[in-house]
Structure 1
Amino acid sequence: MTIADKPPGQRIWDISPLVSPQSPIFPGDEPYALRWTARLSPACPVNLSALTMSPHVGAHADAPLHYAADGASAAEVDLDAYLGPCRVIHALGCGPLIQIEHLQHAVGAGLPARVLVRCNEKAKEVWDPDFSAYAPATVAWLAAQGVRLIGLDTPSVDPADSKSLDSHQQLRTLDLRVLENLVLDDVPEGDYELIALPLKLAGACASPVRAVLRKL
């Protein structure tokens, strides 16, 4: 059965970009690379590969360790925030920062514990430092609504040239979790189930995720 054949209630939206050597990354970060350590042959029954990459390539969950010296690593975070009811909100044309007013139209009677914001008309396939990020006040406002995880379809919750990482520091202060580099191009505004579990990577500052949405 293909996605097109599934009843609407069963559809899965894959909101993770392809990870490849061409994946856009922050300048200086480690790109994705794959090498073969064994290949199928009369003397070998399997193909085996080895990967090198930053855990921030593609769709990923920042661990608190990324922005706090004493923060939890990817292996230590609670998983509850990465699984459950979620609202996708469109903020197309929001400019450099996602402000509270860009989200208020989708609040309704309240927000679920997870909010993902679409800023891009189309996912970027090359590095572009002029991406939309969260205003720190918006992060605080979402936390005040009971939100425990925020996400977006750009590389970071802070602008590319930020040195103070004010929105990341709001995540630390308010104990929120975050997903970055999502692909929300084809996802209508509305409520879904989010599944985006980080890997149990010892000591890692982030983890890749295969993020998906299912319609509630």
Structure 2
Amino acid sequence: MAAFPLEPDVRQLWDISAPVHPGSPVYPGDVPYSQQWCATLSADCPVNLSAMTLSPHVGTHADAPLHYAANGVAVGLLALEPFIGPCRVIHAMHCGPLIEWHHLAHALTALPPRVLVRTYPQAPTQWDAALTAFAPETLERLADAGVVLVGTDSASIDPADSTQLPGHQVLYRRQLRVLENLVLDAVSEGDYELIALPLRLIGADASPVRAVLRSLPQNRA
């Protein structure tokens, strides 16, 4: 049987993952990224081999319910469907300490099930104690609209000094998934395909992800 060559996929990709290195910003008290070389190429060694230490919340990552609920599910046990599929990027820059519903209202028509919100003109390279968080009511209304995943270029969906984490509690109660520390500097408002799969870390409270956006396929006659 003759094989037909696959048509090349020419859709554009945007890497929306934060670079991870020893200087990556971390939540105060969290474990920063570090790396050491266990073996290096030499006449006696055929490979370079390293070991890494980091919190799973360094860089772009997916939180698991285990992060904010004692009986929550670990990240490696989450279904993957929320982390891949149609999404919308919405700009809400300079909106203040909380993303309110009216900051998103201009872009909510025919909403896909994933919403990523850009709050920074340029992704931070240092810890930002004044990060923009989500108002819990905004998360509730997104869930009511059928959203299954929210993402932010901020380090948290809750204020940095929050101890009750009301936004995360909405995530838990409404079964929403979340991506934090996205880099949306080069991404215009609009609809894309999101691909941001967490690692299968069976006991972990979060996972790094390599998050990308892909332009949607063009309609063909």
Structure 1 residue 122 corresponds to structure 2 residue 122: yes
Deviations 1:98-146 (A, max 9, x none): 00000010012x2111000000000000111001010000000000000
Deviations 1:32-55 (A, max 9, x none): 001011111111111101100000
| Amino acid of the structure 1 residue aligned with 2:156 | S
Give the Å deviation of 1:64.
Answer: 0.5
SS in 1 for 2:37: strand
Give the Å deviation of 1:74.
Answer: 1.1
SS in 2 for 1:164: coil
Instruction: Check the 8 A contact 1:58/1:181 in 2, yes or no.
Output: yes
Instruction: Report what 1:209 is aligned to.
Output: 209
Aligned equivalents of 1:75 and 1:91: distance in 2?
31
| Number of corresponding residues | 209
| Amino acid of the structure 2 residue aligned with 1:116 | L
Aligned equivalents of 1:168 and 1:131: distance in 2?
15
Instruction: Report what 2:155 is aligned to.
Output: 155
Deviations 1:67-111 (A, max 9, x none): 011111011000000000000000011110000000010012x21
Deviations 1:172-204 (A, max 9, x none): 000000000000011000000000000011210
CA RMSD of aligned residues (A): 1.2
Aligned equivalents of 1:75 and 1:90: distance in 2?
30
Deviations 1:2-35 (A, max 9, x none): xxxxx99621100011101100111110000010
SS in 2 for 1:78: coil
SS in 2 for 1:103: helix
Instruction: Check the 8 A contact 1:9/1:215 in 2, yes or no.
Output: no
Aligned equivalents of 1:125 and 1:134: distance in 2?
21
Aligned equivalents of 1:41 and 1:15: distance in 2?
36
TM-score with structure 2 setting the length: 0.93
Runs of 4+ in 1 over 4 A off after TM superposition: none
Instruction: Report what 1:105 is aligned to.
Output: 106
Higher mean displacement: 157-166 or 7-16: 7-16
Identity %: 60
Give the Å deviation of 1:210.
Answer: 0.4
Aligned equivalents of 1:162 and 1:53: distance in 2?
23
Aligned equivalents of 2:71 and 2:180: distance in 1?
21
Aligned equivalents of 1:58 and 1:197: distance in 2?
14
Instruction: Report what 2:165 is aligned to.
Output: 165
The structure having more radius of gyration, on CA atoms, is 2
Instruction: Report what 2:23 is aligned to.
Output: 22
Aligned equivalents of 1:195 and 1:113: distance in 2?
13
Query: Within 5 A, what are the aligned runs for 1:65-76?
Result: 65-76=66-77
